[in-house]
Amino acid sequence: MNKLNKNYHIKRRNTQSTANTGKILEAEKPLSQSMVWKLQKDFYANQGPEAWSKGIVPQYITTNPYISHLYAKTVFGYCRDIASSEDFEKNTTIYIMELAAGVGRFTYSFLKYFLHMLENSSLKGLSFKYLITDLAERNVEYWLKHRYLKPFFEEGILDAATFNMTEDEELHLRYSGKILRPGQVKNPLILFANYTFDSLPQDTFYVSNGELYEGLVTITEKEATVDAKDNSILSGFHYSYTDRLVSGSEYYDETNINEILLYYKDRLQDSAFSLPIIAFQCISRLRRLFQDDLILISTDKGYRNLLSMEKNYHPFLSKHGSISLTVNFHAMELYFDSLGGSAIHSIYEHESVTMSLFLLSKHPHNFLETTLVFQEIIESTGPDDFYVLKKALVPKNKSLTSKELLTFLRFTHWDARTFLEFYHTFLERIEKEEDFPREELITAIYQVWEYYFPIGDDGNLFYCLGSLLSYFGCDTDAIELFESSIEFYGEEDALYYEIALCYYNLQEFSKALMYAEKSLLLNPTFEESKELISIIGPI
């Protein structure tokens, strides 16, 4: 029985189109079994780090220093809880695992903050290892070669692995060569999933008049000319849903997941809901690996209660290179409840993402420290609140005082993107503004540099920081920043000139001459370098 058949045109959200006459590529498949997930997998495998460095896939809201600091605080609270437990194995390692870590930017700033907390607390000496994982082999190779991550690998607190969330049962750690298998790990797993579950296969269902329908997707080719600028994996395709009655109560093999279906069947009316089935299966395998002891922290666009699902239809496949779906965090809570676990969600409706925490433990524990920290985060300024505030404030930056800009920069925990957005305002004011907070800005420059993880994306932070430090007479550090700019963004005549000028200020004239000449090799007409060479004269 077909309850409803609705088409979505890829180009516009929530648009009902006329029947498609293009070639049918697949007909009436459960969403989790659709061809779109094969396209998704191939996209990430082919793009590798460039999916993020080129800005094809959004990442900022879940990789900025502000959210990394929130996670570090939460994990620190959790470690205080478990370290106080009699069951805690003090001589073994705590594993922190990040799923679908992408380019590694969150990993870097989290480790910076978390290590600082450990080193300055009663937990100093706690043994932990951060596992950065992704499906794409190119991403793993990128992490292993990135010089900013190299010290963490060498210190033994970071390791990397490819991890297929749809099937892998164990972890093969690439740096140490160790293999983590079920039954070998004694302490709990701390699991991160940011902008992760929204990109994994899900199933979708519809409830009407007390009946449950599965949403089946049909993919057809578009007859119209494809937009050459559309880099989505769904470019050139239409998709539509058909609802088919579900009979019986054993749709899945797992009883607890079938009970979630019945829960929604009894409580929703004329509404669709999705089930993050691969997320459930991934968590189930990690439960076996870590013996039913884990905490999951996840930030994503998601539903956190029944009210947010009322009158919804089947998911719109959001496209930004890859595809993503809104995550049913409420179903995740029901899943953890069925295992004897618990969940804490953001208490407000959020504009972009919601932040949720899920706990599962085979040991009796009240997790007071974890709960206290996390509730403080979600009741004050969580990652979505930060993003809303930032979007409102940054466009008004020229109307704020320099002190106010630096105050907000501290609030962001030294976010590089925010600094870049304020950069030209600072430049305009350094010489003109009376009582310009010079020393505060210099401190901010070093802090932003400390927590920045370069991937070669838009906005050359190294040059901006270096130009300011050079202006303030910090020439040695400015040189390091300019050289990093060359490493991540390539050679430029102006950059070589800036380095030459710094060496000139340091009275290292032979080096100044060498870099001025490098500048002229790239651009023989670069007048500033010619002038500097004439000033230096013969050596």
Q: Would you say 323 and 202 are in contact if contact means Cβ atoms under 8 Å apart?
A: no
> Sign of torsion, CA 530 532 536 539?
negative
Note the Cα 187 to chain centre separation in Å: 25
Of all residues in the chain, what percent carry a pLDDT higher than 70?
94
d(CA 519, CA 535): 16
All residues at 6 or more sequence positions from 44 whose CB lies less than 8 Å from its CB, including other chains: 51, 134, 135, 136, 139, 322
Tokens of residue 100, six digits:
């679908």
pLDDT in tens, 64-91: 999 999 999 999 999 999 998 887 888 8
- 363 three-class SS: coil
pLDDT in tens, 99-122: 999 999 999 999 999 999 999 999
d(CA 264, CA 271): 9
Q: How large is the angle between the packed helices 368-379 and 65-83, nearest 10 degrees?
A: 160
Angle at 173 between CA 168 and CA 177, to 5 degrees: 130
Burial of 376 (0-12, 13-18, 19+ CB in 10 A): middle
Phi, psi of 414, rounded to the nearest 5 degrees: 65, 50
Reported as a pLDDT band with limits 50, 70 and 90, residue 227 is low
Question: Does 159 have pLDDT greater than 50?
Answer: yes
Reported as a pLDDT band with limits 50, 70 and 90, residue 350 is confident
pTM over 0.95: no
- CA–CA distance from 61 to each of 288, 294, 341, 382, 385 (Å)? 31, 24, 28, 11, 10
Q: Determine if residue 209 is left, alpha or beta; phi over 0 gives left, psi from -120 to 50 gives alpha, anything else beta.
A: left
Reported as a pLDDT band with limits 50, 70 and 90, residue 294 is very high
Q: Which helix (H) or strand (E) holds 307?
A: none
Question: Does 231 have pLDDT greater than 80?
Answer: no
All residues at 6 or more sequence positions from 284 whose CB lies less than 8 Å from its CB, including other chains: 254
Reported as a pLDDT band with limits 50, 70 and 90, residue 538 is confident
Question: What local confidence, expressed as pLDDT, does residue 4 receive?
Answer: 40
Query: Amino acid identity, residue 277?
Result: I
